[in-house]
Amino acid sequence: MPSAPLPACAPEAQNPGTATGDSALLVPDPAQWISTTTGRIAPDTYTWLQAVHWVRDSQAHTPARTHGPRFGSTTIRIAELLAQLTPCRPGVDYLVRILQVSERTVQYHLSILRESGLLTYTVKGTRIRQAAARASEFVRTIPAKFDETIGLRTATSQTFIRTVVGVVSYESRLTLAQLGKKAARTVRRTKRRGTRKAGINSSAKSSRCTPMGAGAVTSSPVAPTNNPSEGDLGNGKDQQDPPGKRTRRKLNAVGRRHQLALELVRQVPWLSGSPVARIAWAVRHLADAGWTAHEVIAVLAQRSPARRVHRPVGFLTARLVGAELLYDTSAKRSAIVAWWRDSPQAAKERHAEWQGTWQAPRSTAVQRLFRDAWTRATRREPLVALDEEPTSDEHREARTTAWRQYLTGRPELVTSALALAGRDQTEQIYGRDLVERVLRLRTTSSHLRAGIA
C-alpha cells in the first residue's frame, strides 16, 4: 500500500520556501471559471478559510508574474471579507474603502486568489459605456492540490462538484486541526469587528455587495446583544454613547454644479445616460445662483419636450437660456415650483414614462445581436421535444449542471423547464429536491428572484 502524502503543515514542510515542481499551485486563466475548474465548491466558509491558510502557510502558490505582491497577510484580510459576502460579489471600490489600500493592490490579491484556485469566476465584471460597472461574481472553491497534499479522499457530488468522504492518515487529521484553529480565529475576529461602536468606519463595514444591499455571514451568525443593567434604566435617559459625528465636507462651486447635474440625470427621463460633466456645464449659471433640481424641472415642465431628443445636453441648454435672469429671486422660483406641483398636466408628465422614439444602437456588434435575436423571434421555430427516457449519463449531467447554476444564483434551467414541461416532468429530469428549492426561493420574498423563464 503506498504511503500517504506528506501534509503541508508537517515538520518537514514548515518552511517550504518557493514551491517548485509538483508542489507548485498555479491555475491558468481558462481554468478560473466554474465550468472549467478542477477544484471543488467549498461547502462553507470555515472549510474555505482552511484552504486559504494552507496556501499561505505552505507557500504553494507560484505567481505568474515576476512583480507585485505575494500571498500574504493582505490576501488573508481580503479572504476574510470575501467570506462574509453572499453572494461573493466583491466590488473593488468596496474592498479599497474597507482595507484602506490602493485599487491596484486589491486587483493583485484577487488575481492571487484566482490563480490559487480559491476563487472561481461565475460572472466576470464589465464596464459598459454610459452604464454602471458590474462587479465580478465568484464562487469560493478549494483547489485539488489541497486535497492531494493534505490527504483527503473525495467523491463525485452533484452539489459541490466533489465532496470529502474520508481522511487518509492521522497526520492529515492533525494538519486539518491546525488549519481549523486558524480558520476559527479568523471567523471570531470577523465577528468582533461587527460588534464595534457605530462610526464612520463601522458604517462602511456593515455594507455588503449583494443585490439586497446587505450580506450574510454563512459561517458565523451575528453576535447577540447584551441586555443593559437594570440600574441604568432608572433615569429614563439613553446611556449609550453617541456615535461619532460625521462632518460633511462643504461643496465648492464645481461640486454644486455636478450635484445638480446628477440629480437632473436621475429625475429627468430624457436626460438619462447623459454625461454628468456636460450637464454640469449646461446648468452652471443656475447652480451658481442656488437653484435646486425641483426648480429646474419646474422650468422645463412649462413646455412639453419634443417627441425625439437627438442631443439632450443641447436641448437642455436651449430650454434654460435666460432662466436665471427671469427667475432671479427665491420667491419667483418657489411660485414656479408650486405651479409645477399643482398642475394636472405636469402631474401627468411626472407619472408617465418617457415615450421617445426608439433609436437603434450605434455599436455594430449590438446591431448584429439585435438582428439575430429578431430573426429568431420572428421565425417561430418549434420547440425541441425532450426524450421520454433519457439515459442515466444524461440525467447525471443535466442535474449536475442545474445544481451548479442554482448554487451560483442562476436556476434558469429549472424555471424554464417548469414553464415548458410542467412540474412532474421537471422533477423527473432535475430531481424533486432541486425543484422544491427553486419554487421555495421564488415564493420566499419579493426581493429574491430565481430567474425568469
3-class DSSP state for residue 163?
strand
Residue 24 CA to its chain's centroid (Å): 31
Do 62 and 196 have their domain in common?
A: yes
The answer to whether position 233 is within a domain reads no
Do 388 and 274 have their domain in common?
A: no
| Owner of C-alpha cell 490527504 | 151
Do 286 and 395 have their domain in common?
A: no
- Could you give the CA distance from residue 360 to residue 363 in angstroms, rounded to a whole number? 9
279-294 burial code (b ≥16 CB/10 A, e <16): bbebbbebbebebebe
What pLDDT does residue 345 have? 63
What pLDDT does residue 113 have? 92
What pLDDT does residue 184 have? 83
Identify which has the larger pLDDT, 340 or 287: 287
Residue 4, pLDDT > 70, answer: no
Residue 142, pLDDT > 90, answer: yes
The answer to whether position 242 is within a domain reads no
Residue finishing a domain among 179, 205, 231: 205
- Could you give the CA distance from residue 427 to residue 125 in angstroms, rounded to a whole number? 34
Do 288 and 319 have their domain in common?
A: yes
What pLDDT does residue 199 have? 42
pLDDT grade, residue 5 (50/70/90)?
Answer: very low
By percentage, how much of the chain surpasses pLDDT 90?
9
The answer to whether position 368 is within a domain reads no
The answer to whether position 239 is within a domain reads no
- Could you give the CA distance from residue 284 to residue 289 in angstroms, rounded to a whole number? 9
Identify which has the larger pLDDT, 226 or 400: 400
The answer to whether position 89 is within a domain reads yes
Identify whether the C-beta of residue 217 lies closer than 8 Å to the C-beta of residue 185. Answer: no
As beta bridge partners, residue 156 has 162
User: pLDDT tens for residues 320-337?
Assistant: 888 888 888 888 888 888
Identify which has the larger pLDDT, 372 or 329: 329
- Could you give the CA distance from residue 378 to residue 375 in angstroms, rounded to a whole number? 5
What pLDDT does residue 219 have? 39
Do 277 and 395 have their domain in common?
A: no
| Angle at alpha carbon of residue 351, lines to 350 and 352, rounded to 5° | 95
Q: What is the mean pLDDT of residues 441-448?
A: 60
List the single range of 127-136, 215-224, 392-401 with lowest mean pLDDT: 215-224
Q: What is the mean pLDDT of residues 69-84?
A: 89
pLDDT grade, residue 141 (50/70/90)?
Answer: very high
Residue 127, pLDDT > 60, answer: yes
Do 130 and 76 have their domain in common?
A: yes
What pLDDT does residue 214 have? 36
Q: What is the mean pLDDT of residues 41-57?
A: 90
The answer to whether position 231 is within a domain reads no
Long-range contacts of the stretch 341-348 (C-beta < 8 A, 24+): 343/301, 346/298, 346/301
What pLDDT does residue 351 have? 58
What pLDDT does residue 188 have? 64
What pLDDT does residue 93 have? 86
pLDDT grade, residue 136 (50/70/90)?
Answer: confident
Do 20 and 102 have their domain in common?
A: yes
Identify whether the C-beta of residue 149 lies closer than 8 Å to the C-beta of residue 8. Answer: yes
What pLDDT does residue 18 have? 37
Q: What is the DSSP string of 174-224?
A: HHHHHHHHHHHHHHHHHHHHHTSPPSHHHHHHT---STTS----SSSPPPP
The answer to whether position 443 is within a domain reads yes
Residue finishing a domain among 174, 205, 236: 205
Mean pLDDT of the chain: 75
Residue finishing a domain among 170, 205, 240: 205
The structure's pTM equals 0.41
pLDDT grade, residue 183 (50/70/90)?
Answer: confident
List the single range of 54-68, 102-116, 186-200 with lowest mean pLDDT: 186-200
- Could you give the CA distance from residue 413 to residue 340 in angstroms, rounded to a whole number? 49
Residue 376, pLDDT > 80, answer: no
Do 292 and 380 have their domain in common?
A: no
Identify which has the larger pLDDT, 215 or 167: 167
User: pLDDT tens for residues 414-444?
Assistant: 888 888 878 888 888 888 888 888 888 777 6
List the single range of 66-75, 228-237, 255-264, 268-277 with lowest mean pLDDT: 228-237
Residue 449, pLDDT > 80, answer: no
To the nearest 10 degrees (0 to 180), the angle between helices 73-82 and 103-115 is 80
The answer to whether position 363 is within a domain reads no
As beta bridge partners, residue 139 has 120
Do 315 and 399 have their domain in common?
A: no
User: pLDDT tens for residues 206-254?
Assistant: 434 443 333 333 334 344 445 544 444 445 454 554 555 566 678 888 8
What pLDDT does residue 118 have? 92
pLDDT grade, residue 280 (50/70/90)?
Answer: very high
Do 32 and 73 have their domain in common?
A: yes
Identify whether the C-beta of residue 154 lies closer than 8 Å to the C-beta of residue 163. Answer: yes
Identify which has the larger pLDDT, 341 or 363: 341
Do 330 and 192 have their domain in common?
A: no
What pLDDT does residue 424 have? 83
User: Mean pLDDT: which of 55-59, 61-65, 183-187 is highest?
Assistant: 55-59
Q: What is the mean pLDDT of residues 356-373?
A: 71
Tally of domains within the chain: 3
Domain that residue 414 falls in: 373-453
Identify whether the C-beta of residue 451 lies closer than 8 Å to the C-beta of residue 415. Answer: yes
What pLDDT does residue 40 have? 92
pLDDT grade, residue 143 (50/70/90)?
Answer: very high
Identify which has the larger pLDDT, 228 or 163: 163
DSSP helix, strand, coil percent of the chain (3-state; round to 5): 50, 5, 45
As beta bridge partners, residue 108 has none
Do 127 and 269 have their domain in common?
A: no
Identify whether the C-beta of residue 434 lies closer than 8 Å to the C-beta of residue 402. Answer: yes
